[in-house]
Structure 1
Amino acid sequence: MIDRGLIWRVGFGQLIAWGVTYYLIGVLGGRMASDLGWSLTAVQGGFAAGLLVMGLSSPFVGRAIEAHGGRRAMTAGSLIGAAGLVLLSSAHSEIAYYAAWIVIGLAMRLTLYDAAFAALARIGGGAAKRAMAQITLLGGFASTVFWPIGDAVGEAYGWRAAALVFAGFSALSALIHLTIPDGRFLPARPANGASPTPFAPSLSQRQTRLAAALYALVAALVSALNSAMSAHMIGMLAGLGLGLGAAVWTATLRGFGQTAARGCEVLFGARLRAVDLNLAAAAMLVAGFAVALAVADGVATAVVFVLLFGAGNGLSTITRGTLPLAFFDPATYGSLVGRLIAPSFLLSAAAPIGYAAVIERYGAHAAVWLSIGLAGAALAAAFGLRAIDRSRR
């Protein structure tokens, strides 16, 4: 049973987990490069290594949550994340730095949305769709909360102190994850006492394989954009013409865009199909990056870009969790989705490094055009998923 208290607790856990791990590089990456004397690409390589570990461990973590529930996995992830952040704060060599990110990468796979979605699907089955959307409301404010915290602590005491503060938050979130129940959803037994009706697929094998491939493609492309913007949005806005201070505070508005879009979905999206929501999210991403080409015109244009990106990314986060419930058996959610999203972590691992190279060599405008291409491909795949759903109906 997924009650309101559980949704609030898991939501707060997501707020912390995203803020202290995934979004760390976006606010502290520049200070790390300056302090360590490394290139931005080398610093982003640590984050990429963490995302690579997320991809390699994804099938294993998905099976573990499906078999044992989210409590143990997510609690362990919080403590592992705290340990990785402590290691990061004390890193002076490349070996130590990358080792810390490898630890943080495992923690991210054990604590972020994909783990939470699998835990909720195990508890609530197909009815977990609403809960998945609701926990993202708090998680969407992660950058809004933790980018200013990281910037303030980093400015006053250095990035190492900021990493230690984040480690403390991660350790505290373990107390939240300890409250996740280990129960498993069981279909209601018919009144005549017969066995529950098993999941009946409504797609052919070919359609199921195509839907799985398109879902994996959308997840991979949106994840690449998310990781790239998490690492480079502030720098891109500065490169497009904003001052650094304005870029930091404008970038934090992505959290408002994410949460506003997710809030609309929670309030008004009960009748929207996941495929339609996914299509709208991809369209917002394309529109947002198109607007980014005009950021030099002023802060107002930058705000529109950030809010559109936040809204599109926020809705994509929801559909990443709910699309599998529309096409596949909820009983196998953890293991199936764990396999399908593994490529998304691999592509998102390459994105920060790739974007760093593009920005350093060709500038921020080239990175915007690259983003338009990736978002456009995600939009095409979203149209494909919608076509499969319409053929079924």
Structure 2
Amino acid sequence: MILRRTVLCLGLAQLIAWGISYYLIGGFGEMIAADLGWSRDLVYGGFALALLVMGLTSPLAGRLIDRHGGRNVMIAGALLNAAGCITLALCHSLPVYYAAWICLGVAMRLTLYDAAFAALARIGGPEARRPIAQITLLGGLASTTFWPVGHFLADHFGWRGALLAYAGFALLTVPLHLAIPNGRYEDLAPREAVQKHRPLAASGRDLVLAGGLYAVITTLTNFLNAGMSAHMIAILTGLGVAASTAVWIATLRGVGQSSARLCEVLFGRRLHPLTLNLLASMLLPFAFIAGLYGGEFGAAAIAFAFLYGASNGIVTITRGTLPLVLFDHRTYGAFVGRLLAPSFVLSATAPLIYAVVIDRFGQAGALYLSIAVAAVTLTAAVLLKSLFTRP
């Protein structure tokens, strides 16, 4: 149903799109603040604004993909990514800076995983689980690739030159998105295959319950992801890790993500998405507990980055595959787009909340906050599995 070429092209596009947009602030935030003389809150507030825009545009983006397919929507997002990076590179005032992040917010919603998952669900239906996992393999290496690349470019051309290069990378994703077919699963699959799939949450009550628990899990894991993307390097350096070492340890997050996703692709076919989601949620608290000892033991810092990456990597996959078993795949984009909207809105506050917590309570305070959020996530995952596992 879904060609390998499509999966490969989408995977490469995800690697680039995540690296030049979502992980941009983690690599350049401190440089921008130092160069322009702005406070950390103002600089990271741009990324928060972009996440808020993602939430506001999420339902519309899902409907557009359901109706028109992923190809044109994701190409438009790639062009907006390039425009946002160029505007950011040329900005000298706060209004222009925030305008660039508004542009990037729309671009991220149209190009990152949730758009790609909806595009795959449209053409693959319930058979999209494996392709969804496969495209995340390369996407998981975005921070591992683009944080060092960004630092290298910034060292040679400044952060503005690095962002102009990022705009060029964004344009490279346009031909990759052209590989997405515009057909629908119902038009391409045999009728028996279409009728075979029955969602676990079929009744109105089950839809509300499953949708609510799914929204809690995605909202809290996106909150953690936004906070760690913006502050993981700063947390490590604040704990006492040398700056250059902190950058490379933080890149192990990407290694953990892709390693866990590779294991899922190779061995996870027998695991139900509900079980996989529970196992990933169980890893989260242990990752942040290890982080508390990262300043004293290098191995703990490494475990923090790697375990968090592994857990986040699997949760990202189940964010795409859970709706395939819980809900009707024919309305994947629109329905999941509505459920994801709160996650982007709350994520918009994460960089600022973490910045305030770090300023007032130090890096340990940020990690204790993360442990509490991870515990709530685990509780929701346990409930979802216990309530919707078929005998």
Say whether the fold is shared (TM-score over 0.5): yes
Q: 1:167 aligns to what?
A: 167
Q: Find the aligned partners of 1:93 and 1:84 in 2 and give their Cα distance.
A: 15
Quick check: 2:199–2:324 contact (8 Å CA) kept in 1? no
The structural deviation recorded for 1:207 is 2.2
Quick check: 2:200–2:388 contact (8 Å CA) kept in 1? no
Q: 2:140 aligns to what?
A: 140
Q: CA RMSD in A?
A: 1.3
Tell me, yes or no, if structure 1 residue 359 matches structure 2 residue 361.
no
TM-score, normalisation: structure 2: 0.97
Q: For each residue in 1:241-261, what CA deviation from the matched residue of structure 2 results, as whole angstroms up to 9, or x when unmatched?
A: 101111011001111100000
- The one-letter amino acid paired with 2:204 is Q
The structural deviation recorded for 1:362 is 1.4
The structural deviation recorded for 1:172 is 1.0
Give the secondary-structure state (helix, strand or coil) at the position aligned to 1:363: helix
The structural deviation recorded for 1:199 is 5.8
Q: 1:128 aligns to what?
A: 128
Q: Find the aligned partners of 2:168 and 2:235 in 1 and give their Cα distance.
A: 30
Q: 2:265 aligns to what?
A: 266
Give the secondary-structure state (helix, strand or coil) at the position aligned to 1:341: helix
Q: 1:257 aligns to what?
A: 256
Pairing 1:7-86 to 2, within 5 Å after superposition: 7-86=7-86
Q: For each residue in 1:93-135, what CA deviation from the matched residue of structure 2 results, as whole angstroms up to 9, or x when unmatched?
A: 1100000000000000000000000000000000000000000
Quick check: 1:85–1:166 contact (8 Å CA) kept in 2? yes
The structural deviation recorded for 1:237 is 0.4
Q: Find the aligned partners of 1:34 and 1:111 in 2 and give their Cα distance.
A: 30
Quick check: 1:207–1:388 contact (8 Å CA) kept in 2? no
| Residues 265 and 199 of structure 1, relative CA distance in 2, 3 Å threshold | closer
- The one-letter amino acid paired with 2:382 is F
| Residues 199 and 332 of structure 1, relative CA distance in 2, 3 Å threshold | farther
Alignment counterpart, residue 197 of structure 1, candidates 195, 198, 202: 195
The structural deviation recorded for 1:48 is 0.5
Q: Percent identity?
A: 54
The structural deviation recorded for 1:326 is 1.2
Q: 1:94 aligns to what?
A: 94
Quick check: 1:228–1:355 contact (8 Å CA) kept in 2? yes
| Residues 234 and 199 of structure 1, relative CA distance in 2, 3 Å threshold | same
The structural deviation recorded for 1:50 is 0.5
- The one-letter amino acid paired with 1:39 is S
Pairing 1:318-337 to 2, within 5 Å after superposition: 318-337=317-336
The structural deviation recorded for 1:198 is 8.0
Farther-moved stretch of structure 1 (284-293 vs 181-190): 181-190
TM-score, normalisation: structure 1: 0.97
Q: For each residue in 1:332-366, what CA deviation from the matched residue of structure 2 results, as whole angstroms up to 9, or x when unmatched?
A: 10100000000010011100011011111211000
Pairing 1:225-304 to 2, within 5 Å after superposition: 225-304=224-303
Unaligned runs of 5+ in 2: none
The structural deviation recorded for 1:156 is 2.2
The structural deviation recorded for 1:298 is 2.5
The structural deviation recorded for 1:263 is 0.4
Unaligned runs of 5+ in 1: none
Q: For each residue in 1:139-175, what CA deviation from the matched residue of structure 2 results, as whole angstroms up to 9, or x when unmatched?
A: 0000011000101111222111111111110011111
| Residues 200 and 167 of structure 1, relative CA distance in 2, 3 Å threshold | same
Q: For each residue in 1:303-348, what CA deviation from the matched residue of structure 2 results, as whole angstroms up to 9, or x when unmatched?
A: 1110000000000100000000111001110100000000010011
Q: Find the aligned partners of 2:105 and 2:8 in 1 and give their Cα distance.
A: 25
Q: 2:311 aligns to what?
A: 312
The structural deviation recorded for 1:205 is 2.5
| Residues 150 and 201 of structure 1, relative CA distance in 2, 3 Å threshold | closer
Farther-moved stretch of structure 1 (306-315 vs 154-163): 154-163
- The one-letter amino acid paired with 2:257 is Q
